[in-house]
Amino acid sequence: MSVTIALAGNPNSGKTTLFNQLTGANQYVGNWPGVTIEKKEGRARGYSGVTLQDLPGVYSLSPYTPEEIITRDYLLRERPDAIINLVDATNLERNLYLTSQLIELGIPVVVALNMMDLVKKSGDVIDSAALSQALGCPVMEISALRNQGIEDLLKQAVQSAQGARTAPPNTLSGPALQAVMDIERMLEGLVEPAMRRFMAIKLFERDRRVAGLPALDEAQRAALEQLIHGFEEQLEDDSESIITAARYEWIGELSARAVRRARTGQRHSLSDRIDRVVTNRVLALPIFGLVMFLLYYISVTTVGTLLTDFTNDTLFSEWIASPLRAAMEGAQVSPVLVGLTVDGIISGVGAVLGFVPQMLVLFILLGILEEVGYLARVAFIMDRVFRRFGLSGKSFIPMLIGSGCSVPGIMASRTIEQERDRRMTIITTSFIPCSAKMPIIAMFAGAIYGNSGWVAALAYLAGVAAVVVSGVILKKTRRFMGDPAPFVMELPAYHLPRPANVLRAAWERGWSFIKRAGSVILLSSVALWFLQAFGLEDGRLVMVEDNNTSILAAIGRLVAPLFAPLGFGGWKHAVATFTGLIAKENVVNTYGVLYGFAEVAEDGLEIWSRLAADFTGLSAASFILFNLLCVPCFAAVGAIKREMNSARWTGFALTYQSALAYAVSLVIYQLGLLLTAGTFTPWTVLALVLAAGLLYLMFRPGRRLNGIAAPV
């Protein structure tokens, strides 16, 4: 048999746990096309030919957020054989809202009442039989966390998938029901009986984005509009709201019959008591600071760096690269091949894999925080600060991690639910100086600024400013304004993390990074190795000893004039910037090599005097800013590509970063020249125009959306 069962339900209803239990290791995780949302598919354990399709957690099938559109389109177009609707029994009415829409789709539904153990503990009683009768479909009690009732659920789902389709029951109460039934009559002959109720409701709501909406003629459309309008007048509300209210009215009636509450008044569970500490006015921020510190300390400073250094320095350099090089040279292999293999490929692969240990540690820790439920509290606490800049409260974590390394930082943006906020965070995370950029800062601090501690501080400030400014600017553009859903969230109950979930998620994320981002990094590393190892001599392509004569240097010379208005037009600087694309630490090394030193200290001590000759205080600032803000290293670019899951968006991110870096450097340098030396050139004019442009983009009024002015 070949049966597909979709898994649908609210966020936080335990879907991930259930999916993992139903499929075990037989999962495949990817992305829904063009969006950053995960797509999970798997084979059901114990059955052959039963595919489980996990759908994004949604509160409703209204077509406003990407998750909802994906879910609805999937259900309407792919028509799975059955739907398992996971319902959080501790939150019944709101969960039933989605249920009421699912059962209208003409696909057999099996409702899985999850967390029944918690319901029983609270003393409430839910009559599953009554629910089942009202919903017209089987209702199974389960506890996903405790692995109870899962086999029966699956058995029932497979049975329903192969069984007959029945007409959906009524899910509306009140006057709206009459309206919908009138429309149904209009659809006789146009739509099959199983779909008539659904289509009638969609027509009443004036929902145009439904696949398979029946085509009506002029007369019918006019009659329809008149009908809808009449009801809107009568009930003093718009048709969508009328339906929503009608659904909840029906749910209220159902709830009155099937649910008996133990006691009224506010409940104070263990989660509430924990929250009283964790989110209270005084303790919330210090506790938050502590958790973030621990997260950072463990994943970046200690364990993470330890593992990364081991992988890069010991594993790859000592154990693999050096012996391999020695072996190849000993075997008289051509230098080209040695170079390609050791400096190109191994180095590239090492760059990719070097990140993985740190990332895995981080993902495990983040996964624990997410499973436990703390990340939702983070959003709750930090939201006010971040949303002014178009970011989510959860954007704090990627930024924090990004101060260690952008790669895991960018990937941590997955915990952000809203796609718009997620994309914005991905774009701006690399503005925060990462640990690889610190040597650049230290080098200039020593060479130009007399080792002042201010340089580093200002660099971080500049990074944060870039994040804020970008948020403000981008939020006012059409692309980022499009998300109309208001930001609502639940604080789900705390529970102990399930190691299986955490480990599996961490592993999957790490692996997908290797696969997707890895290819970008590998190819670009090899390419860059080639460009700096080869040059043209007498018109022939040969390997060069002195990379001043390499192709890369030639490109550097070609491109260098572009950087002249920024204050660093020498070709060495262009080359250094390019090698920074592989890894930002390379900038220091490259300068070393270009100035004639085979090896330099981490902060380039030996070349300070040379740098001081080539840079002024102002041009150094411009250089630092440019390297801080522009496109990050290839590994981070790979991470961006992976998380954006869209070539267009990745391109936008990189273009925006480069443009911002260029503009900022230009403005700083030219206006600095104007103020210090009174120099006025066409470039100064350009700088003034750019500065004015930036200010305009920041302070222009936001557009009005849905009758409410967008904040900031």
Given the rule CB under 8 A, which residues bind other proteins?
Answer: 59-60, 62, 64, 90-94, 97, 238, 240-241, 244-245, 248, 261, 266, 275, 279-282, 284-285, 380-385, 387, 484-491, 706-708, 711
Q: Look at residues 90, 92, 76, 110 and name the one whose alpha carbon lies nearest to residue 8.
A: 110
Contact 655, 681 (CB under 8 A): no
Q: Cβ of residue 244: shortest distance to other proteins, in angstroms?
A: 4
Q: How far is CA 497 from the centre of its chain?
A: 22
The torsion defined by the Cα of 74, 80, 82 and 88, in degrees rounded to 10, comes to -20
Nearest in space to 104 (alpha carbons), one of 19, 30, 196, 238: 196
| Ramachandran angles phi, psi of 3, nearest 5° | -130, 135
d(CA 183, CA 171): 15
Which helix H or strand E contains 193, and what residues bound it? Answer: helix 193-204
Which residue in 548, 636, 628, 645 sits closest to 592, CA to CA? 548
- Pick between residue 79 and residue 261 the one whose CB is nearest to other proteins: 261
Q: How far is the CB of 129 from other proteins (least distance, A)?
A: 21
SS3 432: coil
User: Quick one: 419 or 606, whose CB is closer to other proteins?
Assistant: 419
Tell me the two tokens of residue 570: 């020498």
- Angle, alpha carbons 512-516-517 (nearest 5°): 105
Integer-rounded Cα Rg, in Å, for the chain is 30
What the block records as the tokens of 507 is: 């592993």
- Looking at the Cβ atoms of 90 and 358, the one nearer to other proteins is 90
- Pure H helices in 66-149: 66-73, 92-102, 116-122, 128-135
Closer of 66 and 348 to other proteins (Cβ): 66
Q: Which is nearer to other proteins, 484 or 651 (CB)?
A: 484
Strand bridging mode 708-709 / 259-260: unpaired
The type of residue at 51 is T
Least CB distance to other proteins at residue 21 (A) = 24
Q: Pick between residue 128 and residue 548 the one whose CB is nearest to other proteins.
A: 128
**Pairing mode, if any, of strands 38-43 and 50-54?**
antiparallel
CB 7 to other proteins: min, Å: 20
The tokens of 6 are what? 């979709």
If the CB atoms of residues 165 and 479 are measured against other proteins, the closer one turns out to be 479
CA distances for 624 relative to 160, 430, 439, 441, 577, angstroms: 63, 14, 11, 7, 10
Smallest gap from residue 62 Cβ to other proteins (A): 6
Min CB(368)–other proteins separation in Å: 22
Q: In this complex, which beta carbon is closest to other proteins, that of residue 103 or of residue 150?
A: 103
638's CB contacts (< 8 A; 6+ apart) are 352, 407, 513, 516, 517, 518, 519, 520, 521
259-260 and 534-537 strand pairing: unpaired
Output the CA angle 399-400-402, nearest 5 degrees: 60
CB of 229 to other proteins, least distance (A): 16
Q: How far is the CB of 283 from other proteins (least distance, A)?
A: 9
Residue 383 or 614: the one with the smaller Cβ distance to other proteins is 383
- 134: buried, middle or exposed (CB in 10 Å: 19+, 13-18, 0-12)? buried
Least distance (Å) between residue 409 CB and other proteins:
23
CB 416, min distance to other proteins, A: 15
**CB 676, min distance to other proteins, A:** 40
Minimum CB–partner distance for residue 380 and other proteins (Å): 5
For the bound state, the minimum distance from the C-beta of residue 464 to other proteins, rounded and expressed in Å, comes to 17
The answer to whether 126 and 258 are in contact (CB under 8 A) is: yes
Smallest gap from Cβ 250 to other proteins, in A, equals 12
- Judged by beta carbon, residue 189 or residue 486, the one nearer other proteins is 486
Name the residue nearer to other proteins (CB basis): 252 or 323: 252
Pick 60 or 684: Cβ nearer other proteins? 60
Between 387 and 641, name the residue whose CB sits nearer to other proteins.
387
> Which strands, in side-by-side order, build the sheet including 139-141?
27-31, 38-43, 50-54, 3-9, 82-88, 109-114, 139-141
Q: Which is nearer to other proteins, 450 or 486 (CB)?
A: 486
